[in-house]
Amino acid sequence: MGRMRFMLALAVASGHAGSFFGTDIYPKVPGSHAVQIFYMISGFLIALILSGKYADTPRGNWIFHSNRAVKIYVPYLAILAVTAIAWLVIYAASGSAGPLTVFFRDGATMSFGAWAFAVVTNLFLLGMEWGSLLILRGGELLLSVRAIEQPPSAIDFTIIVPAWTLSLELAFYLIAPFILRRHFLLIAALALASYTFRFQAFAYGFRSIATEYRFFRSNSACSCMAP
């Protein structure tokens, strides 16, 4: 399991580094496929943890949720703070703002809703993946299935770029205790509903980078069916 996770991490990293090196330095597994396999591994591991460590009670669920939140938010917020401060210093010294560019470039024209989305998703993560479905036009956020392919989009608000995966992870953690302990037939039914939603949406033309693997409702089956 550890070796597989390491290989998948390399695949994802190579996908992000491809533009720098001019090629996929680790082409065995496409980055998008690696992300979806991560969803499955996460579902499997969380099912094991829930069955062996946490009681199926309100208190047990609370301990599970609080432990997951601490493990994600403490390192994430620390990295977010360091990243933001570092880029503010770099901007003051050189004028390059990196992931903060959109705020300096469009901040004055962004609506309250756009600012609220940017601040809330960067601080609390939940809903961050929706940035892949929102385009920024005239300071307002508008829904678009192909927002990533139509920049600028709300994904530009994300300071820690890969953090949208944490939003999906947190969403899964929220529902995991109420699904993974249930009868297999219920889990299978929910997975079937998720797959049906996914492929019906694709059939009607709602297919893009965002809906392929950044939209929780069409990817939750990967995690739920892993056990």
How is the chain split into domains, by residue range?
2-224
Contact indicator for 121, 94 with CB cutoff of 8 Å: no
Cis upstream peptide for 227 (omega within 30°): no
- Determine the longest span between alpha carbons in the chain, in angstroms: 59
Q: Using alpha carbons, select from 63, 83, 81, 61 the residue that is nearest to residue 73.
A: 81
Measured distance CA(37)–CA(46) in Å, rounded: 14
pTM score, whole prediction = 0.79
Please give the structure tokens belonging to residue 6: 């390491």
How does pLDDT run across 75-88, given as a tens digit for each residue?
A: 999 999 999 999 99
Q: Give the distance, in angstroms, between the CA of residue 174 and the centroid of all CA atoms in the same chain.
A: 14
pLDDT value at 70 more than 80: yes
Please give the structure tokens belonging to residue 150: 């139509």
Name the 3-class secondary structure at 90.
Answer: helix
Name the 3-class secondary structure at 184.
Answer: helix
How does pLDDT run across 16-40, given as a tens digit for each residue?
A: 555 444 555 444 444 456 666 767 7
